[in-house]
């Protein structure tokens, strides 16, 4: 089982769809997608340095509790006891002869959560890793057992309104499931670039100007450098002149500042953005909106890293669309 799952689902920016259980209501799948989001958020928190990682335990517990509450409603069960383990009692009665998975491990998770929240007892790194594994296993087994859905069939990718970004996210998810991680990182990077381009294109004022900062157009810098090189005698086999290289450096810096300003306005965490950029290739956009990708290092071989990148683009899309 992978360290993290990405959350998500639905058609053209509306409600989610389940690919393996067409009879399941879109609202149900939307709620399950949110449960997956809580799971992914909890897993990501556990990866932070200690003691910050302990907060992930609370999110993992919330994810399981939310999924169980949806299950109770879905199966029309009656739960009168407010205790966490009471979910297993009422759902086991509905699922018989099957049982809700991970009762013993979830009992241990619940005790650790009480110890942390009410007594200030910090979980160990070993405990957190164990809770991540068991919580992911709970989700993977519960979704088909209770809802008739494979965990991967529940996705919020369809909530992304930008069509090109949405298509690239689908490809990134496909590469993740096939184990083609480098291609997945590339598609996630392309999805993020398309997300920003779509926002700029659809939020221009009456004068055709983007609401937040200009679109990055690296080819203008390229043309200006060539004009400078023509005047100064740079370029050609000797490479660009010192002034030409300075223009390139200044333009790249301004482009980066412009991009970061927009992302801050959207409420996107620049620390998470830095991690995303570290894991993905450099992207440039040329005429005709063609994207080119350049790797400056070997791609990560960790599934959790690609899951983070997909999740980051999904969350960014929702924030940008709200803006």
Q: Which of 84-93, 210-219, 277-286, 313-322 has the lowest mean pLDDT?
A: 210-219
Q: Using 50, 70 and 90 to split pLDDT, how confident is the model at 108?
A: very high
pLDDT per residue over 24-38, tens digit each? 787 888 899 889 889
**Statement to judge: residues 317 and 189 lie in one domain:** yes
**Statement to judge: residues 187 and 265 lie in one domain:** yes
Percent of the chain's residues with pLDDT above 90: 48
CATH number for 62:
1.20.120
Picking from 122, 144, 159, the residue at the C-terminal end of a domain is: 159
**Statement to judge: residues 181 and 43 lie in one domain:** no
Instruction: With respect to residue 106, please indicate whether it lies within any of the assigned structural domains.
Output: yes
Instruction: With respect to residue 209, please indicate whether it lies within any of the assigned structural domains.
Output: yes
Q: Using 50, 70 and 90 to split pLDDT, how confident is the model at 129?
A: very high
Mean pLDDT of 284-294: 82
Shortest CA distance to 260 belongs to which of 248, 249, 276, 244?
A: 276
Mean pLDDT of 160-189: 93
**Statement to judge: residues 143 and 169 lie in one domain:** no
**Statement to judge: residues 308 and 168 lie in one domain:** yes
Q: Using 50, 70 and 90 to split pLDDT, how confident is the model at 322?
A: confident
Token pair recorded at residue 312: 């980051």
Q: What's the mean per-residue pLDDT of the chain?
A: 82
Q: Are 33 and 9 in contact (CB under 8 A)?
A: yes
**Statement to judge: residues 190 and 245 lie in one domain:** yes
Instruction: With respect to residue 192, please indicate whether it lies within any of the assigned structural domains.
Output: yes
Instruction: With respect to residue 3, please indicate whether it lies within any of the assigned structural domains.
Output: no
Q: Is residue 266 scored above 60 in pLDDT?
A: yes
3-state DSSP assignment of residue 76: coil
User: How far is Cα 68 from Cα 74, in angstroms, rounded to an integer?
Assistant: 10
* pLDDT for res 267: 78
3-state helix, strand, coil in the chain (%, to 5): 65, 5, 30
**Statement to judge: residues 148 and 67 lie in one domain:** yes
DSSP conformation class of 236: G
**Statement to judge: residues 101 and 177 lie in one domain:** no
Q: Prior bond to 136 cis, omega within 30?
A: no
Q: Using 50, 70 and 90 to split pLDDT, how confident is the model at 16?
A: very low
Q: Which of 175-184, 236-245, 286-295 has the lowest mean pLDDT?
A: 236-245
Percent of the chain's residues with pLDDT above 70: 80
* pLDDT for res 249: 77
Mean pLDDT of 284-313: 88
Domain count of the chain?
2
Mean pLDDT of 230-249: 64
Instruction: With respect to residue 63, please indicate whether it lies within any of the assigned structural domains.
Output: yes
**Which domain covers residue 213, as residue numbers?**
163-322
**Statement to judge: residues 150 and 218 lie in one domain:** no
**Statement to judge: residues 286 and 256 lie in one domain:** yes
Mean pLDDT of 229-236: 60
Give the angle subtended at the CA of 40 by the CAs of 5 and 96, to the nearest 5°. Answer: 70
Q: pTM score > 0.75 for this model?
A: no
Token pair recorded at residue 272: 């998470």
Q: Look at 21 and 49; give whichever has higher pLDDT.
A: 49
**Statement to judge: residues 175 and 318 lie in one domain:** yes
């Amino acid at each position: 089982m992978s360290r993290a799952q990405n959350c998500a689902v639905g058609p053209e920016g509306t409600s989610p769809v389940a690919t393996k259980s067409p009879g399941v209501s879109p609202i149900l799948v939307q709620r399950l997608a949110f449960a997956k989001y809580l799971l992914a958020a909890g897993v990501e928190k556990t990866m932070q340095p200690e003691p910050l990682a302990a907060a992930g335990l609370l999110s993992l517990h919330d994810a399981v509790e939310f999924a169980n509450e949806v299950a109770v409603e879905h199966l029309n069960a009656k739960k009168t006891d407010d205790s966490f383990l009471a979910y297993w009692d009422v759902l086991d009665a509905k699922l018989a002869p099957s049982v809700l998975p991970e009762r013993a491990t979830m009992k241990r998770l619940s005790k650790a959560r009480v110890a942390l929240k009410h007594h200030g007892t910090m979980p160990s790194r070993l405990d957190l890793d164990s809770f991540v594994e068991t919580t992911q296993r709970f989700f993977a087994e519960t979704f088909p057992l209770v809802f008739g859905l494979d965990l991967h069939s529940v996705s919020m990718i369809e909530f992304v309104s930008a069509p090109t970004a949405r298509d690239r996210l689908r490809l990134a998810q496909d590469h993740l499931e096939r184990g083609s991680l480098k291609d997945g990182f590339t598609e996630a990077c392309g999805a993020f670039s398309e997300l920003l381009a779509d926002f700029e294109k659809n939020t221009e004022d009456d004068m055709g100007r983007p609401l937040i900062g200009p679109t990055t157009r690296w080819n203008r810098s390229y043309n200006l450098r060539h004009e400078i090189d023509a005047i100064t005698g740079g370029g050609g086999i000797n490479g660009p002149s010192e002034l030409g290289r300075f223009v390139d450096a200044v333009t790249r810096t301004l482009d980066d500042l412009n991009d970061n300003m927009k992302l801050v306005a959207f409420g996107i965490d620049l620390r998470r953005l830095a991690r995303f950029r570290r894991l993905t290739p450099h992207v440039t956009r040329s005429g005709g909106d063609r994207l080119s990708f350049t790797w400056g290092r070997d791609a990560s071989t960790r599934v959790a890293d690609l899951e983070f990148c997909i999740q980051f683009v999904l969350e960014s899309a929702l924030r940008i669309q709200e803006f």
